[in-house]
Chains A and B, each alone.
Chain A
Amino acid sequence: MKTFKIGGVHPNDSKISKDCAIEDFPVLEKAYLSMAQHLGAPAEPIVQKGDKVKVGQLIAKPSGFVSANIHSSVSGTVAAVEPYADLAGNPVMHVIIDVEGDEWEESIDRTPDIVREIKLSKEEIIKKIQECGIVGLGGASFPTHIKLTPPPGKVAEYLLINGAECEPFLTSDYRLMLEQPEQVLIGAKIMMKALDVTKCRFGVEENKPEAIAKLKTYAAQYPEIEIVPLKKKYPQGGEKQLIEALTGRRVPSMGLPIDAGAVVQNCGTALAVYEAVQKNKPLFEGIVTVTGNCSEQQRNFRLRAGTPIINLLDAIGRIPKDAAKVISGGPMMGKAVSNLLAATVKSSSAILMLTEEETKRKPESNCIRCGKCIDACPMGLEPYLLVRYSRNGMYDELEENKIYDCIECGCCLFSCPAYIPLLDHIRASKAEVMKIMRSRPKK
Chain B
Amino acid sequence: MRKLIVSPSPHIHSVENTQRIMRDVIIALCPSLLVSIYFFGFSAIKLALVGVASCVAVEYVIQKYILKTQVTINDYTAALTGLLLALNLPPSSPGWMILIGSIVAIGVAKMTFGGLGQNIFNPALVGRVFLLVSFPVLMTDWSVPASWFREGVDAATGATPLALIKEGLSNGLTIEQIMAANPEISYVHMLFTKIGGSVGEVSALALILGFVYLLVRRVIKPTIPLSIIGTIFVVSGIFWLANPAQFTDPIFNILTGGVLLGAIFMATDYVTSPMSTTGQIIFGVGIGLLTVLIRYFGAYPEGVSFAILIMNMVVPLLNKYCKPARFGKEVKNGK
Contacts and interface: CB of A to CB of B under 8 A. Distances in A.
A331 B331 contact: no
B contact face: mostly helix, strand, loop, or mixed: loop
A423 B10 contact: yes
A259 interface: yes
Contact of B4 (A251, A324, A367, A402): A324
Interface stretch (B14-22, B98-106, B246-254, B302-310): B14-22
B10 A414 contact: yes
A417 B15 CA distance: 8
A380 B324 contact: yes
A326 interface: yes
A contact face: mostly helix, strand, loop, or mixed: loop
Interface string B65-78: 00000001001010
A378 interface: yes
Query: Which size bracket describes the interface of A in this complex?
Result: 35 or more
A174 interface: no
Given A359-B5, A443-B333, A240 B328 contact: yes
B238 interface: no
A360 interface: yes
Interface stretch (B38-46, B139-147, B270-278, B284-292): B270-278
Nearest to B326: A380
Interface stretch (A91-99, A104-112, A295-303, A334-342): A334-342
Contact of A427 (B8, B270, B276, B324): B8
B328 A253 contact: yes
B297 interface: no
A326 B271 contact: no
B170 interface: no
B221 to A, nearest CB: 8
Given A380-B324, A380-B327, A358 B12 contact: yes
A396 to B, nearest CB: 15
A254 B8 contact: no
Interface in B12-50: 12-14, 16-18, 20-21
Contacts of A424: 8
A423 B8 contact: yes
Contacts of A374: 275-276, 324
A370 interface: yes
Contacts of A410: 9-10
Interface in A404-419: 405, 408, 410-411, 413-419
B169 to A, nearest CB: 40
B10 A380 contact: no
Given A368-B271, A402-B326, A417 B18 contact: yes
A414 to B, nearest CB: 5
B64 interface: no
B118 interface: yes
A336 B11 contact: yes
A287 interface: no
B9 A332 contact: yes
A100 interface: no
Nearest to B275: A371
Nearest to A88: B6
A358 B7 CA distance: 13
B227 to A, nearest CB: 15
Interface string A408-443: 101101111111000110010000000000000001
Interface in B257-297: 270-271, 275-276
Contacts of B329: 250, 252-253
A331 B12 contact: yes
Contacts of A252: 328-331
B168 interface: no
A254 B331 contact: yes
B278 to A, nearest CB: 12
Given A259-B331, A417-B17, A382 B12 contact: no
A360 B10 CA distance: 11
B47 to A, nearest CB: 26
Contacts of B9: 331-336, 408, 410, 423
B183 interface: no
B172 interface: no
A176 to B, nearest CB: 23
B38 to A, nearest CB: 32
A253 B326 contact: yes
B217 interface: no
B1 interface: yes
Nearest to A249: B328
B115 interface: yes
Contacts of B152: none
Contact of A419 (B1, B13, B118, B334): B13
B5 A336 contact: yes
Contact of A337 (B4, B8, B21, B271): B4
B86 to A, nearest CB: 22
B17 A6 contact: no
Contacts of A359: 5, 7, 11-12
A393 to B, nearest CB: 20
B14 to A, nearest CB: 6
Nearest to A413: B10
A289 B8 CA distance: 20
B313 interface: no
- Top 8 nearest A-B pairs by Cβ distance? A410-B10, A380-B326, A366-B117, A371-B275, A370-B270, A336-B6, A325-B5, A331-B12
Given A252-B330, A352-B11, A414-B12, 6 more contacts: A6-B327, A253-B326, A327-B11, A337-B6, A340-B4, A354-B11
10 contacts: A6-B324, A168-B12, A337-B6, A362-B13, A365-B75, A366-B118, A382-B275, A382-B324, A415-B16, A443-B334
